[in-house]
Structure 1
């Protein structure tokens, strides 16, 4: 039975391969009439790769894909690998190799690489189709930032459409938000309230005279994510780093105590405004206090690339610098994994919300939900986390309270769009997981 299955698979693979070769030859001969061959050949190979991509997904590996296309990243990988190998391999062959052997190497090396790539693509498709786990937890940041933000978050939680939120303890309406959330949590103990550590804007929680290098003349925190990241590059004993780390400790201590006063005692789950908690110098300071304050959970932003998104979504992510943010935070999250384990810190198994931050609606939201729903969280991790920033129309000037960076973000109509998108997502979860 196994031999028969293998024989069938090889036959189908060969059939698709012959078809792709025919496409390559036909396109090459046609384009060769109107352009140089060195231009025509890569274009013909692109057409052949596309034929191979479609054929193997729908024919050769149909049991794994269910008749659906492979994720487009596999097509890009196959084309890039084959172009590279076709260009480099002839130059790398030793001169003493017989011509017949050269032909064998040049023909079968790409064939074997293609077989490996398409089989991996098939296994990737199979995992996505079969690894349906519990849905991700829906989480909203910035409780306490404004009345508009509080309204959206609390309404979603009341409707059962959120599993958690993060409290900005130095926000203008943090106390109001914390009290309202506590009322909801009394009936739903599983609701999670995280400390949203803020080091980049807003009034400081520590006395300004204790942290003079972290605040401006109004006592507002003003060092950006980039500043903290650059500080992490300085040697630990550098005088400037040592001075700022000491002040950083005062501010973290003050925000943790403020959070405890608002929420009450108990284990603390912590994340960061603008994901500042993942910056190495900040993460080290947080972990150094984890035992003293009972910090048991930290957010990871290790976000898998979603599949099936229209090209316009990726272009929008590029324009909004989402891909750059994603890359930076991927590196920081992966660096943090070992430190989490070393300090006994748990984290979320999957995450979505950086690539399309501020625009988590429509196709990006559905793709993120589907991607997270297909992930299996490790035993030591909490369920995957889907992050959004919902809000009602902003009617207050939070820039006057020191939140100049968040003012345009909170005032954007996308806050209402994300609110409505979360409501729609909960109504038709099957559509989002399909």
Structure 2
């Protein structure tokens, strides 16, 4: 067989969020539409997800969560700086606000991250093959240093650096979301040096910010892959390479972040507070249908794009 042009990790995030999300992710994996999953260990259906990963031999990593639901570390379930007045994590934007105001204890961040790695091992029987952050908290200032140290200590070799080529050229993103994504990218770029110093790796290109929910389409996935190929080939702009230019004819590595599934039932799922609107929306089904579309799978084959896991890099 000819050498693939691209090795693409298609990661189903939020595995464990609810039973319907789990079922959709497994359906995608069995159809060859995703090749990797990222587990939320504090989610309501985490054990079911881990059992499914074992049964279906799914490559699995840890989706470390510091922003939604409840901590898994018993010592942080009351009186912790990571919790709001209701006893839950501060939320996607709340976490960032508390961090910016200097209100978060980094020692508590480290305790929770290590507790989540430990629980992951208990659920799956092995260390994560990769580890990233739910809602991209792992690239935030200060947090990134703790995150990289934890990965290094456990020998977890891969993470996610969410810098997507072509983000600025996507007119369909609303201004508020675009502003958030640009901040995520700035934090991600600033995190690269920290990850490099700890020997942590990531794919040559990241995709997924511009193809979430109803923005996912075959055309948009093709566009995102094309932008990434152009960026990596030119070695300019928004490329996030963690190594030197590969030898000629070596495949380019990419990760596509996706959130397929069947919409959550209103009273089932989540990380302690019930499922959010994103999980209950039809966007989950839309992503699943797009990823499983035979035309997209045919495109991968035609363009020599091999779906794989991090361990295949």
Task: Give TM-score scaled by structure 2 length.
Answer: 0.80
**C-alpha spacing 1:432/1:391, structure 2 compared with 1 (3 Å):** farther
8 Å CA contact 1:370–1:432 kept in 2: the answer is no
The reply on whether 1:339 has 2:194 as its aligned counterpart is yes
Q: Secondary structure at the match of 2:115?
A: helix
User: Which is bigger in relative contact order (C-alpha 8 A, separation at least 6)?
Assistant: 2
1:267 to 1:202, Cα distance in 2 relative to 1, 3 A: closer
Paired residue for 1:212, among 80, 104, 107? 80
- Asked if residue 415 in structure 1 is aligned to residue 284 in structure 2, the reply is yes
How large is the RMSD of aligned CA atoms in angstroms? Answer: 2.9
Residue from 277, 299, 309 that aligns with 1:428 = 299
What pairs up with 1:387-406 in 2 under 5 angstroms? 387-398=257-268, 402-403=272-273
The DSSP-based 3-state class of the residue aligned with 2:71 is coil
Unmatched tracts of structure 1, length 5 or more = 1-131, 186-190
Cα offset for 1:156?
0.9
Spell out structure 1 runs of 4+ moving beyond 4 A.
216-219, 230-234, 376-382, 398-401, 430-433
Kindly provide the CA deviation profile for residues 364-385 of structure 1, in whole angstroms up to 9, marking residues without a partner as x. 2231133335545665798211
- Is the 1:390–1:416 Cα contact (8 Å) retained in structure 2? yes
1:168-218 alpha-carbon deviations (Å, 9 max, x no partner): 001110110111112222xxxxx5311001111122101144652323466
- Give CA deviations for 1:28-72 in whole Å, capped at 9, x if unaligned: xxxxxxxxxxxxxxxxxxxxxxxxxxxxxxxxxxxxxxxxxxxxx
Instruction: Name the residue aligned to 2:44.
Output: 172
- TM-superposed CA distance for 1:410, in Å, is 0.7
**Alignment map for 1:5-404 (pairs within 5 Å):** 133-185=5-57, 191-207=58-74, 208-209=76-77, 212-216=80-84, 219-221=87-89, 223-233=90-100, 240-241=103-104, 244-266=105-127, 268-305=129-166, 314-318=170-174, 321-358=176-213, 359-374=215-230, 375=232, 379=243, 383-398=253-268, 402-403=272-273
The SS at the match of 1:155 is helix
Deviations 1:138-163 (A, max 9, x none): 11101000111111111111122211
Q: Which moved more, 1:198-207 or 1:362-371?
A: 362-371
* CA shift in 2, pair 1:266/1:204, >3 Å: closer
Cα gap change, 1:277 to 1:353, in 2 (>3 Å): same
Gaps of 5+ in 2: 234-240, 247-251, 305-313
Displacement after TM superposition at 1:354 (Å): 1.2
Distance in 1, matches of 2:228 and 2:56, equals 26
Partner deviation per Cα, 1:225-270 (whole Å, 9 max, x = no partner):
3344345546xxx7x45xx222222211211111111122346411
Paired residues in the alignment total 284
Higher helix share: 1
Question: What's the TM-score once normalised by structure 1's chain length?
Answer: 0.59
Relative to structure 1, is the Cα distance of residues 432 and 418 closer, same or farther in structure 2, using a 3 angstrom cutoff? farther
User: 2:311 — aligned with what?
Assistant: none
